[in-house]
Structure 1
Amino acid sequence: MRAEATPTAPALVIRPWCVRDVPALVEAWRDPAMRHWTTSPVENDADAVRWVRTQRRGWARGDRFGFAVLEARPGAPQEHLVGNVVLKDLAPGKPSAEVGYWTAAHARGRAVAPRALETLTAWAFATLGPDRLNRLELLHQTDNEASCRVAQKTRYKLAGLLPATPPTFPLAGHLHIRHRTT
């Protein structure tokens, strides 16, 4: 998948995670903000390999589709990891799933998350079809203002407040929803 370049940002390549992403994944997880907002710590190469294998198992089961988000800079020898998007919690007979994302510290402020999430959303609705998926949910803690802005930019409507559920969600949260359009 691709998110086309904009006048201020290069194109994004969105593809399944692979083991060659391990060094960049470890580097991304050194960011204190990332450690604050996410729940799967990656301390070293072994953790990163386990994390990538978890993403690949989700693909094999068909219940979680994690994607590395990379910038494709013209003339650069290879793409550069800038984030992650994921479609998760898919289950037979369940018409909804959850989306998630993160952006590496060096890539924040360049609309990586909204462009990648928009691409993932279109892929999910097109790939899974109306018989399997009609609604996507985006959850974040109420104090995560950046995630709220991403939800708004990608037309995920605020649908309600969620109670705190420590330790995963120590504070109350927002539930944003995007429905399949006909």
Structure 2
Amino acid sequence: MSDIVILRTSAPALILRPWRMEDVPSLVEAHRDPVLRRWTGSAVEEHADAVRWVQAQERGWAAGERFGFAVLDPSADTSLVGNVVLKDVTPGQASAEVGYWTAAHARGRGVAPRALEALTSWAFDTFGTGGLERLELLHQADNAASCRVAKKSGYDFDRTLPALPPGFPREGHLHVRRGDA
């Protein structure tokens, strides 16, 4: 799998590529951020946790059901600025889910919407002929930043979802983007 490169005239480029073991130190550093830990379900607190997390990303790629991308900023010595993921991909299934996070030092620079747009285009280009028609974006209802990212990325608000502890402890929002949009 080659990297996905975003080139825009109005914003700096980003590189999206599958996670690698060399990303472990940057992943641990990103997860030291309490804001990131509040909104994500993964617990990466030390080197061993990050190794397991990257290995899980690699297994998802190998199984063809979860495609996690490290988001890198080539203008900042290719530093890690975030993560985007396409998950719950099943051949012949009409929908899949997307997710993302942005490292603290990169917030407010449009990283999440640009990376999500690239992932969305890649997902429909790659899996649309196999039946993928819609992508779903879920976030906790009180995460206003994720609502803004969803809107900027063309994901329309669909409905509020009830809490489903322990994995989804609070009400959530479901946003949807269709392949023909």
TM exceeding 0.5: yes
Give SS of 1:126's match: helix
Partner of 1:86: 85
Unaligned runs of 5+ in 2: none
> SS of 1:87's equivalent?
strand
Partner of 1:109: 108
In 2, Cα distance between the equivalents of 1:106 and 1:31? Answer: 10
Match of 1:141 in 2: 140
Question: What letter is aligned with 1:91?
Answer: T
| Distance across 2 between alignment mates of 1:38 and 1:6 | 31
Identity of aligned residues (%): 65
Q: How far off is 1:10 after superposition?
A: 2.7
Report the equivalent of 1:49.
51
C-alpha deviation, 1:170, in angstroms = 1.4
Q: RMSD of the TM alignment (CA)?
A: 1.3
Q: 1:28-62, CA deviations, whole angstroms, 9 ceiling, x for partnerless residues?
A: 00000111001111111111011000000000000
- 2: distance between equivalents of 1:173 and 1:130? 30
The CA distance in 2 between the partners of 1:62 and 1:69, in whole Å, is 20
Distance 2:147 2:87 in 1: 19
Q: How many residues align?
A: 178
1-structure distance, mates of 2:9, 2:19: 24
Shift of 1:6: 4.9
- 2:66 is matched with 64
Selected match of 1:18 from 20, 24, 34? 20
The question of whether the paired residues in 2 share the 8 Å contact of 1:157 and 1:176 is answered with yes
AA partner of residue 72 (structure 1): P
Q: Which stretches in structure 1 are left out of the alignment for 5+ residues?
A: none
Instruction: Give the Cα separation in 2 of the matches to 1:91 and 1:126.
Output: 15
Report the TM-score, using the length of structure 2 for normalisation.
0.94
- Deviant stretches of 4+, over 3 Å: none
Q: What SS does the corresponding residue of 1:123 show, helix, strand or coil? A: helix
User: Contact 1:5–1:12 (CA<8 Å) still a contact in 2?
Assistant: no
Structure 1 counterpart of 2:42: 40
